[in-house]
Structure 1
């Protein structure tokens, strides 16, 4: 089994965390997305999406982080993806919400737009407007995450037990640290994120990501 990944990739980090936390052996191949290796012929020939991660397991290739997490949890019979139909449905719902609501506005609308040149709009005015729109939407989703999905009592996104939704969600939310977000306005998110960061493998898996966060300290960004 091989995982094509990059250690700062938002979608790669939760898969690597799941593997590390559960002691699952998996070869890793770094695809240097910062140098454009994901656009090279060698990688495009096996993943025309030009994205990471991608998991190879025999003749199976999976190219979506959420699908990879579910597959690995099923393959290794992990309790983080419950078998109970209704509990599993809530995990699936949470992961879909993170991907289609929060990540879209927060990741692409606010964070990536300020970090990566290929996410810039064609004019400064259009770019500033797009970020302002993303900021407004992201604040709305973060408030819903804080008030509704988490609330004051839940240690994890789907209740009392850690699930693959937490692996995925912590990676999405933590990208805010890249631009200096501290989530003080969202105490339940801060508490939950601290719970995930307390996992034994979090520090090692996110070592490179944390280096990028440190390198951005002191820079001015639009934050939530």
Structure 2
């Protein structure tokens, strides 16, 4: 199987981390999203959405990190994507929540406009309003995650066992550290993220984004 990826892509890191932890052999093909390689005809024929990741398994191609995680987990019959109907539904629910709630407003509405120049708004006033709105919305979702999804006693987002939902969410939330987010108001979130960062493959998978963080560490950032 081949994964088209870029190591700085938040969407690529969940399947990369899961594959590394589960010892799934993947061929990695770099798509340089910072030079626009994703818009060139060669990659457009792979994914007309012009996005990574893309998983290629023989003549079968699959896009979207959430779908790729589920496919990989089923491919190896991983208990981290349980077969029980209700347990699997809970994992799917959490993954949808990360994609439609946290990712939209924490990453695209709050973090990315600060750390990626091509996503900064057209004027300081619009930029400030965007970041402030994203911060307020992110705080709402972080409170939901802290108090209800994790809450007292849950080590992971679906209970006491790690699932593929944790891989997806940890990559999305971990980007916050680039801006200096400590999540100190959300102790359950902090503890959960610490458990995910303790995975043996975390540092290797995240080294590119960690390096990028160092390159912008002196820029003023709004945090939560």
Instruction: Give the equivalent residue in structure 1 for 2:151.
Output: 151
- Once the two structures are superposed, residues 101-144 of structure 1 have per-residue CA deviations (whole angstroms, 9 ceiling, x without a partner) of 01100000011111223323333212211111111001100111
Deviation at 1:218, TM superposition (A): 2.9
Instruction: Give the equivalent residue in structure 1 for 2:20.
Output: 20
Instruction: Give the equivalent residue in structure 2 for 1:186.
Output: 186
- Once the two structures are superposed, residues 192-221 of structure 1 have per-residue CA deviations (whole angstroms, 9 ceiling, x without a partner) of 001011111111111112111222323211
Instruction: Give the equivalent residue in structure 1 for 2:121.
Output: 121
TM-score where L is the length of structure 1: 0.97
Instruction: Give the equivalent residue in structure 2 for 1:43.
Output: 43
Instruction: Give the equivalent residue in structure 2 for 1:168.
Output: 168
- Runs of 4+, deviation exceeding 6 Å: none
Q: Distance in 2 between the 1:50 and 1:205 partners?
A: 22
SS at match of 1:4: strand
Q: Distance in 2 between the 1:120 and 1:204 partners?
A: 29
Q: Distance in 1 between the 2:147 and 2:217 partners?
A: 29
SS at match of 2:142: helix
Q: Distance in 2 between the 1:219 and 1:148 partners?
A: 34
Instruction: Give the equivalent residue in structure 1 for 2:209.
Output: 209
Q: Distance in 2 between the 1:111 and 1:142 partners?
A: 14
- Unmatched tracts of structure 1, length 5 or more: none
- Unmatched tracts of structure 2, length 5 or more: none
Alignment of 1:19-168 (within 5 A): 19-168=19-168
Q: Distance in 1 between the 2:219 and 2:113 partners?
A: 15
Deviation at 1:36, TM superposition (A): 1.4
TM-score where L is the length of structure 2: 0.97
SS at match of 1:33: coil
SS at match of 2:82: coil
Q: Distance in 1 between the 2:126 and 2:215 partners?
A: 27
Q: Distance in 1 between the 2:167 and 2:95 partners?
A: 10
SS at match of 2:34: helix
Q: CA RMSD in A?
A: 1.0
Q: Distance in 2 between the 1:112 and 1:60 partners?
A: 31
SS at match of 1:28: strand
Give aligned pairs, total: 224
